[in-house]
Structure 1
Amino acid sequence: MLMFAMANMPAPPEPAATPLRLAGVTKRFRIAKREITALGDVHAETSPGLVTGLIGPDGAGKTTLMRLVAGLLSLDEGRIEVFGTDVSTEALKVQGMISYMPQRFGLYEDLTVQENLDLYADLNGVPQADRSASYTELLHMTGLAPFTSRLAGRLSGGMKQKLGLACTLIRPPRLLLLDEPTVGVDPVSRRELWQIVDHLVRQAGMSVLLSTAYLDEAERCDEVLLLHEGQLIGSGQPEAFTQTMAGRSFHAHAPGVPKRALQAVLTATPGVTDALIQGEAVRLVLDEGTTPETIQPPGVSGLALSPVAPRFEDRFVDLLRAQNGAKPRAALSPPPSGGSSTAMRAAIEVAHLTKRFGAFTAVDDISFTVKRGEIFGLLGANGAGKSTTFRMLCGLLPATGGQLKVDGYDLRRAAAAARGRLGYMAQKFSLYGDLSVLQNLHFFAAAYGLRGARRNERINWALSEFELAPFADATSRDLPLGFKQRLALACALMHEPDILFLDEPTSGVDPLARREFWQRINALAEGGVTVLVTTHFMDEAEYCDHLVIMAQGRILATGTSEALKHAARSSALPDPTMEDAFIALIHADSGQEQAA
């Protein structure tokens, strides 16, 4: 738990009535021969001393708007005012009133924590006499005081996030701009950042504009602006959006029907807006005007629907569906054959796995088994050892000790043979940005040993199944993030692997793209493909048949999402979420370490 004592930090000046006013804001970009309207005729205002959430799917225009407000881009049309000052005509004055934290934190990774703070203090003209008190407060607030001599590049994602925020606050602003500050960091770090933001707003009186891909974070904002394809599609308090969904959200059960199969059929059922796996149930959102009695999924008998409280995410997805004019896509068809995955033996066996880098133990004597056709989740805080474990399982990193078997192959003896059974989708887009979509598909098909008619068949399958044909000649780095994700998954599945590794595959992707992605993954699992996934979206852990939660290279807990939530249940928390369960485990482990 972070503690705050910011009395010595200079308070920002008293804010004016309107921190941010947008009037007809329009911004266009030209990519190759295409002109793209990133923002079109946006009108909005924010309120002083509040957190305003900027919510929208990938490509909605959130980062463009942030950069326009910060004076880093120029408007094509319209006007932006910060506390009554026109950004276009008085950019320097506006930049003196704001601080901007970009998506990648803006850190210098070859400098230490202290050197980064010194650099930002120099850039912001902070007097030497004021620095010591500011440093003390910022380091205390972010919990970074013990790490001032550590290189920024060696910090975990959550620690980088907090250092980026500390550097942004080296000169306390009147308006703080945070561009998706929590993407790719664990739930503990997300909550800690929100504690800091809440403190800044409530105690220091700052106004904050914060963009986020996590829709549960929208509910923590005082007000929200909803963007979609450069258009403002809604604004107001989050509760107002949630209330419009009253009576439309349910939990669905059907005796004898597995949850993945039930979700798949409900997704394609008329009258259904959204269907998500949540524990052992399917969370259902119905179209406006549809009653539970009219929901009749084909081939399912005994369907029982019980009302649940609506969420902000329900309304957001409802609005996006209305904007897109399309229902959820059906499951992946046809699923890969799974090759040799016909036996019921374990797909992945890990026994006493250890990995050391010099004196540092990244993975410490862990053991688990993944069954064939199972979706297995590997969760943990930043720096827990998940990615290191992943790389060892993929044969990309040798283990220091222990045993690793993938599809029956001992990775310490037959890594090359095992890799031929695997598909791997990296945490960051790792395809060739200078190549077109089609060229990437050809390259990976060849890399996996596909030849002749078989190669052409799989490439045609990928273009059709992932709806990439219209982008076949587009340079892959210019694709929207959702289509980059599709292309990365298509390349990973080109050779029809038995086992699929997904390392935080949906980080930064909008809710509709995430739903489409998981429909595909569920269908692959139903077709016999084993899936091992890491994710920081705790609601995605609900899709997993089994979970392992790691911290500091060790396994803290294993089980189903329902079992882990049940273990976290208490009188103070009678109905914990998966995020609550995760954070309870991490805090309990930290408490035990401190006691020891």
Structure 2
Amino acid sequence: MSIPVMETTALSKAFRLPGRVEQALSEVSLQVAAGVVTGLIGPDGAGKTTLMRLAAGLLLPDAGSVRVLGHDASRESLAVQSQIGYMPQRFGLYEDLSVMENLDLYADLQSVTPTERLARYEELLNMTGLGRFTRRLAGQLSGGMKQKLGLACTLVRSPRLLLLDEPTVGVDPVSRRELWSIVYRLVEQEGMSVLLSTAYLDEAERCAEVILLHQGRVVGQDRPAAFSEPLRGRSFRVHQPHVLPRRLQSRLARLPDVFDATVQGEAVRLVMQHAQAPRLEGEEWAQAICEAVPPRFEDGFIDLLRGTESLQQNLRPVSHTVPAGKAITVSGLTRRFGDFVAVREVSFDVAAGEVFGLLGANGAGKTTTFRMLCGLLPVSGGELSVAGVDLRRAAATARARIGYMSQKFSLYENLTVQQNLEFFSKAYGLRGAHRRARLEWALDELDLAAFIGAASGDLSLGYKQRLALACALMHEPDILFLDEPTSGVDPLARREFWSHINALADAGVAVLVTTHFMEEAEYCDRLAIMAAGEILALGTPAEVKAQSLGVEGRSATMEAAFIALIEGREVA
């Protein structure tokens, strides 16, 4: 058996925060095998980033030890750092420097000689597909290209161990696939060892071994298949014709003995508490078809972490009557930035109570479209109506009817949870008893009461998401815009978030959402896929799959349909 490239023994680390101590890692003991990709997964706040920073010699442990490539990372940090590559979540690219200038800077920092870097640059630029963009400023690259440049900068000196902290967060499926191709090429051709943390469980399933952290402790370490094997006989697929999958999912989740329910194409995937099929009896389950399916890695992940805990399903976002009919109407929408056309003659509509998804590769024009619909960006051409109001003539009136949750956490991080809620309630004009009732609603329904005095910047990503959603819903909007709201959030938090979204839609709120999680696109009633500012496909998830893959493709994954559409456009 080969010597592990990384080994921790009873490793512990805590952080002192105002009014409390946050235990990030508690007596963690593990080994990372050489020459393979090892996945590091766990919910928000599990300790994944802390573990990586300790391994890179950037933090000192409170107790225990971490050895990397035979060196003590706390005592011999320079020796460790000379042999590893570390790409943190927010990789430090210099956006006012070009691609080549960024590479040169990191080569200088790692003392790579001019002779050595020529051959290395050629290899890295070919590997990442950035060869045609060496003169482009890093700030002008798409999200996927920035991630690939960050990886290239990490690799200007070939490391023995590569630490990647959620490298595919906020990256579209095509770029995700390209990044994984690069990682496996490094392992196969250069014999590199990789420790990679990820929020995507399908990515973890591709690893040779997976380490699962929860609340700073190792819950399990094994091959991905070993996590799912104990659930054999507990997984089922339920389909009911003429019923929206997200509504079927909501009903199934309330049945006795149902442990987990997720939308999967035109059906719902169930995991039961015990090895028996759900009882679908009575008229409400007419024509429902239930079949057994093999367990998958995600089932094992949820089983280990959730226990018997159920998600909140009782969010009640509005107390007034939401107007029926078309909530959003867009016709020929266009936005130009000088000579560049970011959005070109886009047309669609969204009904009250509908969940509408806007998908696309990085730089497709999704966020630009969002910002125009929210009245945050002027329109260059076309017509758009939001909540029955012409946005080009009465933007302020329309904005009072909408809620907006941005792609990046945009609340005041130095304010507490309560102070943020109070600020936004006042900004939306809430007063007196109504304001007090909405503050109480936010704390109770989104489970924020325990963090009322915590600084928003100290919250985990999942709780930041809850707070941002609470602020966006404070004034009970008729329309909710969600721009990649679950980017980087773990599967448990995503499940809870979508239970809230379903409740919103059932209450009549129109929801317009962008996402890079293709599984989440299945929760949408309808969706549009964009590329280069144009709509490539529009319809229900099944219709979009049929448009891209043919009629037989209706049962394929949304990711396969997305990639086919994007690559088909590039070939054309």
Match of 1:200 in 2: 186
Task: Give the superposition deviation at 1:261.
Answer: 3.0
Distance 1:31 1:119 in 2: 35
Match of 2:302 in 1: 317
The within-5 A match list for 1:431-510 is: 431-510=411-490
Match of 1:429 in 2: 409
Question: What per-residue deviation string (whole Å, max 9, x for no partner) do you get for residues 472-509 of structure 1?
Answer: 11111111111111111111111110000000001111
Task: List gaps (5 residues or longer) in structure 2.
Answer: none
Task: Give the superposition deviation at 1:574.
Answer: 9.1
* Secondary structure at 2:231 match in 1: coil
Q: 2:164·2:194 contact (CA, 8 Å) conserved in 1? A: yes
Q: Which amino acid aligns with 2:297?
A: F
1:560 aligns with 2:540: yes
Q: 2:313·2:503 contact (CA, 8 Å) conserved in 1? A: no
Distance 1:297 1:20 in 2: 56
Q: 1:16·1:83 contact (CA, 8 Å) conserved in 2? A: no
Q: 1:337·1:527 contact (CA, 8 Å) conserved in 2? A: no
Q: 1:338·1:528 contact (CA, 8 Å) conserved in 2? A: no
Distance 1:295 1:75 in 2: 53
Match of 1:63 in 2: 49
Q: 1:113·1:148 contact (CA, 8 Å) conserved in 2? A: yes
Match of 1:532 in 2: 512
Match of 1:74 in 2: 60
Q: 1:270·1:295 contact (CA, 8 Å) conserved in 2? A: no
The within-5 A match list for 1:249-264 is: 249-254=235-240, 257-264=243-250
1:212 aligns with 2:212: no
CA 1:301–1:330: 2 relative to 1, 3 Å:
farther
Q: 2:25·2:215 contact (CA, 8 Å) conserved in 1? A: yes
Distance 1:88 1:476 in 2: 31
Q: 2:5·2:32 contact (CA, 8 Å) conserved in 1? A: yes
Q: 1:271·1:295 contact (CA, 8 Å) conserved in 2? A: no
Q: 1:266·1:297 contact (CA, 8 Å) conserved in 2? A: no
1:519 aligns with 2:490: no
Q: 1:113·1:151 contact (CA, 8 Å) conserved in 2? A: yes
Match of 1:306 in 2: 291
Question: What per-residue deviation string (whole Å, max 9, x for no partner) do you get for residues 92-143 of structure 1?
Answer: 1111110100111221112111110000000000011111111111111101
Distance 1:298 1:312 in 2: 34
Task: Give the superposition deviation at 1:211.
Answer: 0.3
The within-5 A match list for 1:229-248 is: 229-248=215-234
Distance 1:296 1:491 in 2: 41
Match of 2:170 in 1: 184
1:120 aligns with 2:106: yes
Q: 1:269·1:295 contact (CA, 8 Å) conserved in 2? A: no
1:47 aligns with 2:11: no
Q: 2:253·2:261 contact (CA, 8 Å) conserved in 1? A: yes
Task: Give the superposition deviation at 1:156.
Answer: 0.7
- Determine which of 327, 331, 340 is the counterpart of 2:310: 327
CA 1:559–1:255: 2 relative to 1, 3 Å:
closer
Match of 1:373 in 2: 353
CA 1:571–1:71: 2 relative to 1, 3 Å:
farther
Question: What per-residue deviation string (whole Å, max 9, x for no partner) do you get for residues 498-551 of structure 1?
Answer: 000000001111111111110010011011000000000000000101110000
1:162 aligns with 2:138: no
Distance 1:317 1:556 in 2: 35
Match of 2:251 in 1: 265
- Determine which of 324, 327, 335 is the counterpart of 1:343: 324
Question: What per-residue deviation string (whole Å, max 9, x for no partner) do you get for residues 439-483 of structure 1?
Answer: 111111111111111111111111111111121111111111111
Distance 1:70 1:352 in 2: 51
Distance 1:405 1:458 in 2: 28
Q: Which amino acid aligns with 2:259?
A: T
Distance 1:571 1:169 in 2: 43
Task: List gaps (5 residues or longer) in structure 1.
Answer: 1-14
Distance 1:457 1:296 in 2: 40
Task: Give the superposition deviation at 1:268.
Answer: 2.6
1:34 aligns with 2:34: no
Distance 2:312 2:392 in 1: 41
Q: 1:338·1:529 contact (CA, 8 Å) conserved in 2? A: no
* Secondary structure at 1:506 match in 2: coil
Task: Give the superposition deviation at 1:409.
Answer: 0.8
CA 1:338–1:113: 2 relative to 1, 3 Å:
farther
Distance 2:554 2:373 in 1: 37
Task: Give the superposition deviation at 1:365.
Answer: 1.2
* Secondary structure at 1:355 match in 2: strand
TM-score w.r.t. length of structure 1: 0.93
Task: Give the superposition deviation at 1:297.
Answer: 9.7
Task: Give the superposition deviation at 1:568.
Answer: 4.2
Question: What per-residue deviation string (whole Å, max 9, x for no partner) do you get for residues 332-381 of structure 1?
Answer: 1x341454x3332x111111111110111110111111112110000000
- Determine which of 523, 543, 560 is the counterpart of 2:523: 543
* Secondary structure at 1:244 match in 2: helix
Moved more, 354-363 or 260-269: 260-269
Question: What per-residue deviation string (whole Å, max 9, x for no partner) do you get for residues 303-344 of structure 1?
Answer: 53212232211110111112xx52222231x341454x3332
Q: 1:52·1:225 contact (CA, 8 Å) conserved in 2? A: yes
Q: 2:324·2:351 contact (CA, 8 Å) conserved in 1? A: no
Match of 2:568 in 1: 588
Match of 1:388 in 2: 368
Distance 2:108 2:133 in 1: 21
Distance 2:279 2:505 in 1: 30
Match of 1:129 in 2: 115
* Secondary structure at 2:522 match in 1: helix
* Secondary structure at 2:333 match in 1: strand
Q: Which amino acid aligns with 1:398?
A: P
Moved more, 272-281 or 393-402: 272-281
Task: Give the superposition deviation at 1:78.
Answer: 1.1
Distance 1:501 1:380 in 2: 16
Task: Give the superposition deviation at 1:298.
Answer: 11
Question: What per-residue deviation string (whole Å, max 9, x for no partner) do you get for residues 178-201 of structure 1?
Answer: 000000010000000000001000
Q: 1:265·1:297 contact (CA, 8 Å) conserved in 2? A: no
Distance 1:114 1:428 in 2: 28
